Structure 1
């Protein structure tokens, strides 16, 4: 599957264990969004939309095509690696869990990364497909806004990207959340549609979130416009 980082081999020497993966020339999405000062110019909207679609395809493959299915449990921008063509590849399966096709969840320790962990994980030690979808929604918000999931350097009330975006939408100011480098009249319709998808992903009610398969279909439709 081209949207997963491929395992090329492994090495076992004494007590040392190494996994060898394909080299990703452009590093992580987190690096491009949050570390590079020129990311706005180099990571245009077309690239960001392709990264979103590739990541969704990788997630859908884990959830639906693998046998047994896989919950990633740590979807985040630093675990989305980019090849020389900026094609997205999901990486880091250290927290992943296998799940039988007839099951909807696994009981496990609550793990993940601050800002990406679904709210329901704080109430129950159960990991679900919809938890991965929530984390994917955070990545979509990062692609749209250029903001980190949580940024304590920002003013109170806008530190958490989900709360800030939902508040801006409630005030009818959703177009103001888009990063200036990607916001233009020619792609505003696509931006708004992806924002709606992101908001569906991060809704507090897991049952209201889309499936990864729905995400792929919606993002493909937007990409084809």
Structure 2
């Protein structure tokens, strides 16, 4: 039964073909272990560049970070709205966003459908999952909003060794905005480079995505459309 279910899930994943999704190349079942084989992305993950790689974050200027968000949002919109059956990712996080420079690609999870099994990563899990235990499209939007805040601030979603008030990124961002200190949210590497207006717009979108009330969050397609308008004048001037 489990193996049949696994193969059915793999078939769903193999139909998901989009330039911003990492391609599933095959799978293997051996001695009870199940492996999915994806295309190798030599540049590694967004988490690696933002938080682990020496000088990695400084190489991610604002136009690059915006391009990463646009690419990842398009991949997620394809999963939510175009792919049949629709796919709930359930574990959007910076380590599941791989870089192929300028473009970003999402790793698909193994279990694809709405489920009663709680999954996710601390700091990215929507607040409603604690009560409902059901993964949803709006839950994915919350997790994507956290990734947006991560790129804007350069901070991890949860920083264990920080004082309690600034430990969780979402709570800290809401607090800073309520005190009128939103410019302090932005990664120091990004400040003073002339992109403040664009970053404020993306911050507004991110805060809508991490709204505590899932019904007040935008759809991922709305996020895609908003991100397209951010920096569009700059893109026109370059062409």
1:15/1:117 CA distance change after superposition, 3 Å = closer
Out of 146, 153, 170, the residue aligned to residue 162 of structure 1 is 170
Displacement of 1:111 in angstroms is: 1.4
Displacement of 1:12 in angstroms is: 5.6
Higher helix share: 2
Residue of structure 2 in register with 1:3 after alignment: 20
Task: Report the secondary structure of 2:92's partner residue.
Answer: coil
Out of 89, 106, 119, the residue aligned to residue 90 of structure 1 is 106
Q: Is this contact kept in 2: 1:40–1:182, CA < 8 A?
A: no
Task: Report the secondary structure of 1:147's partner residue.
Answer: coil
Cα distance in 1 for partners of 2:72, 2:64 equals 12
After superposing on structure 2, the runs of 4+ consecutive aligned residues of structure 1 that deviate more than 2 Å are 8-20
Displacement of 1:107 in angstroms is: 4.5
Task: Report the secondary structure of 1:88's partner residue.
Answer: strand
Cα distance in 2 for partners of 1:28, 1:75 equals 12
Q: Is this contact kept in 2: 1:2–1:89, CA < 8 A?
A: yes
Q: Is this contact kept in 1: 2:125–2:139, CA < 8 A?
A: yes
Unmatched tracts of structure 1, length 5 or more: 98-105
Count of aligned pairs = 216
C-alpha RMSD of the superposition: 1.6
Residue of structure 2 in register with 1:198 after alignment: 206
Is 1:45 aligned to residue 45 of structure 2? no
Q: What's the TM-score, normalizing by structure 2?
A: 0.86
Is 1:120 aligned to residue 128 of structure 2? yes
Q: What's the TM-score, normalizing by structure 1?
A: 0.91
Residue of structure 2 in register with 1:81 after alignment: 98
Deviations for 1:40-99, whole angstroms, at most 9, x for unmatched residues? 32111111000001110011000000111000000000000111x2310000412421xx
Task: Report the secondary structure of 2:176's partner residue.
Answer: helix
Cα distance in 1 for partners of 2:53, 2:208 equals 29
Unmatched tracts of structure 2, length 5 or more: 1-17, 234-239
1:163/1:82 CA distance change after superposition, 3 Å = same
Higher strand share: 1
Displacement of 1:191 in angstroms is: 0.4
